[in-house]
Amino acid sequence: METIILDDERSIARLAAGAFVDLLARKPDAVLGLATGSSPLGVYDELAARHEDGDISFARARAFTLDEYVGLPADHPETYRNVINRDFTSRVDIDPDAVRGPDGLAEVIPASCAEYEAAIAAAGGVDLQVLGIGAVGHIGFNEPGSSFASRTRIKTLTHQTRVDNARFFDGDVDAVPSHCLTQGLGTIMDARHVVLIATGRHKAEAVHHLVEGPVSAMWPGTILQHHPHATVLLDSAAASRLQLADYFREAYRGKPSWQGL
Ligand code: F6R
């Protein structure tokens, strides 16, 4: 796991966007893994700007989202399909049919989740997965206690996650769905490169466990310590509880410029 601490969110967004640009330059039909929420917004802004400048095309790319609320009507502005469309995919030239997410309105949820896993596998697996991390340590919506071997399935959201996401539902916790479909930890671990972004002091405890804690289902993101190619991008506030912060800063300062993420 490479942990990089940067001064501001713009630098984080630029660095993460660079990983997408490099990937699509060498593999135009790459498979992208997309997260919703606040953490990747700067990356999506940066990618939209670089697309506008003609630096990057998503015309042949495919994308899979991490998760979806269960039971929200298709036209609800907070379904993750609508969120990812608004925040990112409608702003670049990716084919809308090449963007898939778990089906939160599926009649038979286990079959639908198995189909989603099969679609990711048929596409050749995810090349680059962008992730945020919840204050409770989840990645995707793999809440504490999730199996490290889990695949796409239904999960009950913790009360804390619903409180955290109430800001997207006019502050009304009860309006946040109680269940979601999420790629499992096993699914996420299959991505060839994972880039996790965390900013702000409210993420510091989760980041402390993610980077320096023992690997534990109580802090599901810690499974990424076993990923062969995981990059963690932090601002100083999110990194504020890391014992090794000075070492990570020094290592990044000394990193050769030819070495990408
Ligand atoms: C979203 C997702 C979640 C978020 C996490 C952090 O698709 O899978 O794991 O990444 O809850 O959310 P933000 O970025 O809004 O703090």
CA torsion sign, 159 to 163 to 165 to 166?
positive
Ligand 1 pocket residue status of 38, Cβ below 6 Å = yes
pTM of the predicted model as reported, rounded to 2 decimal places = 0.98
Q: Which residues contact 195 (CB under 8 A, 6 or more apart)?
A: 16, 19, 128, 129, 130, 131, 230, 231, 233, 261
Pocket flag, ligand 1, residue 39 (CB < 6 Å): yes
Does 139 contact ligand 1 (Cβ within 6 A)? yes
Query: Which residues, in sequence order, are CB contacts of 167 under 8 Å at separation 6+?
Result: none
Which residue from 36, 43, 81, 207 has its CB within 8 A of the most atoms of ligand 1, so it is best to mutate?
Answer: 36
Tokens encoding 178: 């109680």
User: What is the per-residue pLDDT for 32?
Assistant: 98
> Token pair of 191, please?
């991505």
| Residue in 83, 130, 141 to alter for ligand 1 test, most ligand atoms within 8 A of Cβ | 141
pLDDT number for residue 254: 95
Predicted confidence at residue 257, as pLDDT, reads 86
Of the residues 86, 129, 131, which should be mutated to test ligand 1's pocket, given the most ligand atoms within 8 Å of the CB? 131
How confident is the model at residue 196, as a pLDDT?
Answer: 99
Tell which residue, 107, 66, 61, has the closest CA to residue 83.
66
Instruction: State if residue 66 touches ligand 1 by the CB under 6 angstroms criterion.
Output: yes
Tokens 């700007």, located at residue = 49
Q: Is the CB of 85 under 6 A from ligand 1?
A: no
* Ligand 1 centroid, distance to 256 Cα (angstroms): 31
Note the pLDDT tens digit of each residue in 110-166. 999 999 999 999 999 999 999 999 999 999 999 999 999 999 999 999 999 999 999
Q: What is the number of other CB atoms lying within 10 angstroms of the CB of residue 10?
A: 12
Whether the predicted pLDDT of 260 surpasses 90 = no
Condensed to tens digits (0 to 9), the pLDDT of residues 173-212 reads 999 999 999 999 999 999 999 999 999 999 999 999 999 9
Give the span between the Cα atoms of 237 and 122, in whole angstroms: 40
